[in-house]
Amino acid sequence: MTTVKRSEINRIIRESEAFMRGHGYILPPFAHWTPEEMKARGSEIAGITGASLGWDITDFGLGDFAATGLILFTVRNGRFEDLKRGRGMLYAEKAMISRKDQVTPMHRHDLKAEDIINRGGGTLVLELYGDTDGACDRSKGVTVATDGIVRTIAPGERLRLAPGESVTLIPGDWHAFWGEGGDVFVAEVSTVNDDATDNVFEDPAVTRFSGIEEDEAPFRLLVSDYRTWLG
Tell me the pLDDT tens digit for each residue of 50-102: 999 999 999 999 999 999 999 999 999 999 888 889 999 999 999 999 999 99
Beta bridge partners of 161: 124
Give the CATH number of domain 3-230. 2.60.120.10
Burial class (CB in 10 A: 0-12, 13-18, 19+), 164: exposed
| Amino acid occupying residue 198 | D
**Angle value at C-alpha 57, between 53 and 61, nearest 5 degrees:** 125
pLDDT in tens, 4-29: 999 999 999 999 999 999 999 999 99
